[in-house]
Structure 1
Amino acid sequence: MANGCDVVVIGAGFAGMTAARDLSLEGHSVVLLEARDRIGGRTYRGEAFGRPVEFGGTYVHWTQPNVWRELQRYGIGLAVPLELDRMHWLADGVVHSGTQRDFESIAAPLMARYFADARLHFPLPPQLGAVDTGAIEQETLQDRFDALDLSEHDRDVLDGMLSTFIHSHREQGLAQLLFWAATTFGDWSAFVETAGVWPIEGGTARLLAAMAAESKAELRLSTPVRAVEDDGSGVVVTTRAGERIRASSAVVALPLNTLSDVMISPDVPRPVRAMIDQKHPMRSAKIWARVRGEIEPFGAFAPVGKNPINTARVEYRHEGDTLVVCFASDAAAIHAEDRESVQAALRTFVPDIEVVDTAGHDWVADEFAQGGWAHHRPGHLTGAAPLMREPHGRIHFAGGDIAPVGVGGIDGAIETGAIAARDVTVALAHC
């Protein structure tokens, strides 16, 4: 068995990096294990078209306290996005076009109806138990769409607006969408700005590099973990290569959908085990398209199942061309390497668009992700996820998938990493 340390942190995404850094700066000996050959988890700033692009999680906001504190800590700002004023939306079998104001005049009343009770169910979003959410936690996205009794046109407009966040209407819980809206005072458009507009200046890799440079943890890449055991006197972490590392505590900061590949002993509470085994249903894709020429900046929306690309937005200019970021609700419906299919899907909105190259990362097929950010099934947001945030003996869990507030995002990942580090520090002080 390898020499012991105070803490083993498993997973070097934003949650694990935060926990490892904070614990090491408190003077604890920390080993940070990462299955990939890079840090970052489901954020991944790679190369495409001769420039860096974000293949995974990207956007943050100054109203997100945890990530904003980190950006201020390292003197990193936000990149200014391109202004969009041309919108295209597929509704009732027809592509409509207009200005941002034209689209908002149609979409805003529909969004207001969908999210009208967000603050009723979540008046204080950080306190998930503030009201009884039992009834709303049993509803799916499909249930809410059906209850609104919309025309085909209005349903398509609303579905298109939400499609970036939807893979399966029948598997995803309504509560999480309402919770997200409640964090921005019940205003969905405000939530979308916080979650999907502002990239980090220099990208996610710049912030991660700054955190890693300050951390004193020992980082081991290409080291996937097979098992984590609390044996009553400490924790033993076993890697897939068979190495056993003893520590006083462990922080497991892995994506929810990969946790069933790790043996946890003693087992987690039954609701948490059910959530781990069922996995969350998000199986979407993010695709970059390089488009010939500097075309007019646009945004586009299509309802789930009615176009392979459900949302698209002009993001950058590059060497006389335009980079468009696209999201597909179903990763199986379109593949990043299929340039012609991406072009055909974009031509639904802009008939003469010419795609010269495409790029992406398949997060669904990725062994160490098995999907995108978490959107919880009914019952898991306010049931299993809070249980998972509680210490499991000497084992602590972290990650944006189970965040108290910023669930599904970079801010939530940092939030849970900081909480885990605090809890472990308190526990070690009482050993």
Structure 2
Amino acid sequence: MTEQTDVVVIGAGLAGLVTARELGNRGHKVVVLEARDRLGGRLWTEDRLGRKLELGGNWLHWTQPHAWAEVTRYGLDVSRGPRSEETYWLAGDEVRRGNLDDFMALIDPGMTRLLEDTMKWLPRPDAPLTNGDLAEADQYNLQEMLDKLDLSVDERNANEAAWVGHFNAPLDQCAYVNALRWTAASSGHWHLMHEASAIYRLKDGNDTLANAIAEDADAEIRLNAPVTRVEHNNDGVTVTYGGGQQLQARKAVITLPVNILHKLDIQPALSEGKLAPSRERTASQGVKAWMRVGRRGTPGPIKPFFAYSAQDKPLSVIRTEFIGENDAVLVGFGADGNRIDVTDKAQVQAAVDVWRDDLEVLEVAGHKWGEDPYAEETWLIQRPGQLTKYHAAQQASEGALHFASGDIANLWAGFFDGAIESGLRAGRTVHAELKA
């Protein structure tokens, strides 16, 4: 006999968990189906290298209103990584050394010129399609816009490396509008955007947020329950999952990342406004690498540092996240997951040697998100044209099917905040329809 429920939520990332909480706590019977053996989706905290490491999403900030409201709701403690005392960057193939202020001064003219029209294009970052002329800016990739600035070699390398750290993708595939969206969400200030996307984290691990939402939700969460088929009409949904079990519901909320949405068997098929961007794929195809390092030769403390190279290097950015007496744990980012295996110590060592040959990589950790069958991407970075072509269609419900994901959020798309915003919207909309 097929099981009955009010709502099926597909995916137990932040968007799915928030949707389930909002609906379950309003009296609806909710079942969440999660393919993995854990909560969180692209939020993934693991005990590795002697620390709580964020293999997935890492940082949040008080300028991200939906995420910060959840931090306040559950009384979660926030911390930050150690302040950088040294900064390394490349000028051609020559390593330069200074402090973080030196590097920020180097990239400031380029960042300022690149982003000076942010609020013209996005006067309401919470409603990104408000400006009907945004498609004019959305035709360009970020590399094209940087090239127009005619920067010196030093400035060019530094600006490119900083953006690879933000975007986790080759810059000639990233929409310029991504840079505008992040900066507009930071009230037009690129320094604030840099801080909001890279400094603060939850002290006891970001999974404490996912766990708190799950514990607060009056919903049944089933792990190891991959969905294989969704059949829908205006009256309801039949979801097949696991070994052939079926659930019938009045509504379903699908929270899959953009890149895998077209791979789910949904009948009747979704609109082209959802399938086309999924087949095109997002630009995000980079890597996040964790490494524990020590000093070569004489053991001793390692000063916290930032290092920026160039976008053609396997890792364009590394920074200190934890410090010990004789070691440090660093996190690094690169534009292309095909250039480096983040689980191979020798490859990570070679990437670190670009800046520092005085550090020995002792252990590495990471996850190949591009090969993860339930993600196939890191955080959302769109290609040129995708926002203005597809955003409205990606958010729209189709009969009994609704959609929630940080990938289709308005304000901080690709961040925890965007996933929470999207889950809140789906919960409100589905509740109104069920009540009606």
Q: Structure 2 length normalisation: TM-score?
A: 0.95
Q: What residue is the counterpart of 2:217 in the other structure?
A: 215
Q: What residue is the counterpart of 1:296 in the other structure?
A: 303
The one-character-per-residue Cα deviations of 1:96-153 (angstroms, maximum 9, x if unpaired) are 1111221122111111011111111101111222211111111112221222222332
Q: What residue is the counterpart of 1:347 in the other structure?
A: 353
Q: 1:168 to 1:240 in 2, by over 3 A?
A: farther
Aligned residue for 1:162, secondary structure, equals helix
- The answer to whether the Cα contact below 8 Å between 2:301 and 2:325 also exists between their aligned partners in 1 is no
Q: What residue is the counterpart of 1:376 in the other structure?
A: 382
Aligned residue for 1:290, secondary structure, equals strand
Aligned pairs (5 A) from 1:31-70: 31-70=31-70
Specify every segment of 5 or more residues in structure 2 that has no aligned partner in the other structure, as ranges: 295-299
Q: 2:246 aligns with which of 244, 247, 252?
A: 244
Q: What residue is the counterpart of 1:135 in the other structure?
A: 136
Q: What residue is the counterpart of 1:234 in the other structure?
A: 236
- The answer to whether the Cα contact below 8 Å between 1:228 and 1:265 also exists between their aligned partners in 2 is yes
> Percent of pairs identical after alignment?
36
- Looking at structure 1, the residues matched to 325 and 38 of structure 2 have their Cα atoms a distance apart, in angstroms, of 28
* Alpha-carbon RMSD: 1.4
Q: What residue is the counterpart of 2:289 in the other structure?
A: 287
Q: 1:193 aligns with which of 189, 195, 200?
A: 195
Q: How far is the alpha carbon of 1:259 from its aligned partner? A: 0.8
Q: What residue is the counterpart of 1:94 in the other structure?
A: 94
Aligned pairs (5 A) from 1:76-87: 76-87=76-87
- The answer to whether the Cα contact below 8 Å between 1:230 and 1:265 also exists between their aligned partners in 2 is yes
- The answer to whether the Cα contact below 8 Å between 1:163 and 1:302 also exists between their aligned partners in 2 is no
- Looking at structure 2, the residues matched to 3 and 242 of structure 1 have their Cα atoms a distance apart, in angstroms, of 12
Aligned pairs (5 A) from 1:105-144: 105-131=105-131, 132-144=133-145
- Looking at structure 2, the residues matched to 109 and 338 of structure 1 have their Cα atoms a distance apart, in angstroms, of 37
- Looking at structure 1, the residues matched to 63 and 185 of structure 2 have their Cα atoms a distance apart, in angstroms, of 10
- The answer to whether the Cα contact below 8 Å between 2:230 and 2:266 also exists between their aligned partners in 1 is yes
Specify every segment of 5 or more residues in structure 1 that has no aligned partner in the other structure, as ranges: none
- Looking at structure 1, the residues matched to 279 and 301 of structure 2 have their Cα atoms a distance apart, in angstroms, of 46
- Looking at structure 1, the residues matched to 354 and 279 of structure 2 have their Cα atoms a distance apart, in angstroms, of 38
Q: What residue is the counterpart of 1:155 in the other structure?
A: 156
Q: How far is the alpha carbon of 1:59 from its aligned partner? A: 0.6
- Looking at structure 1, the residues matched to 367 and 177 of structure 2 have their Cα atoms a distance apart, in angstroms, of 29
Runs ≥4 in structure 1, deviation > 6 angstroms?
none
Give aligned pairs, total: 429
Aligned residue for 2:365, secondary structure, equals strand
Q: Structure 1 length normalisation: TM-score?
A: 0.96
Q: 1:91 to 1:166 in 2, by over 3 A?
A: farther
Aligned residue for 1:207, secondary structure, equals helix
Q: How far is the alpha carbon of 1:240 from its aligned partner? A: 5.1
Q: 1:51 to 1:106 in 2, by over 3 A?
A: closer
- The answer to whether the Cα contact below 8 Å between 1:299 and 1:314 also exists between their aligned partners in 2 is yes
> Residue 152 of structure 1 aligns to which amino acid in structure 2?
V
- Looking at structure 1, the residues matched to 68 and 203 of structure 2 have their Cα atoms a distance apart, in angstroms, of 12
- The answer to whether the Cα contact below 8 Å between 1:20 and 1:421 also exists between their aligned partners in 2 is yes
> Residue 265 of structure 1 aligns to which amino acid in structure 2?
Q
**After the TM superposition, which of the residue ranges 307-316 and 285-294 deviates more from structure 2?**
285-294
- Looking at structure 2, the residues matched to 12 and 100 of structure 1 have their Cα atoms a distance apart, in angstroms, of 38
The one-character-per-residue Cα deviations of 1:50-79 (angstroms, maximum 9, x if unpaired) are 332111101111221111111111111211
- The answer to whether the Cα contact below 8 Å between 1:82 and 1:316 also exists between their aligned partners in 2 is yes
The one-character-per-residue Cα deviations of 1:302-328 (angstroms, maximum 9, x if unpaired) are 2211x2111111110246421011112
> Residue 235 of structure 1 aligns to which amino acid in structure 2?
V
- Looking at structure 1, the residues matched to 406 and 175 of structure 2 have their Cα atoms a distance apart, in angstroms, of 17
Q: How far is the alpha carbon of 1:214 from its aligned partner? A: 1.2
- Looking at structure 2, the residues matched to 123 and 201 of structure 1 have their Cα atoms a distance apart, in angstroms, of 34
> Residue 39 of structure 2 aligns to which amino acid in structure 1?
I
> Residue 281 of structure 2 aligns to which amino acid in structure 1?
K
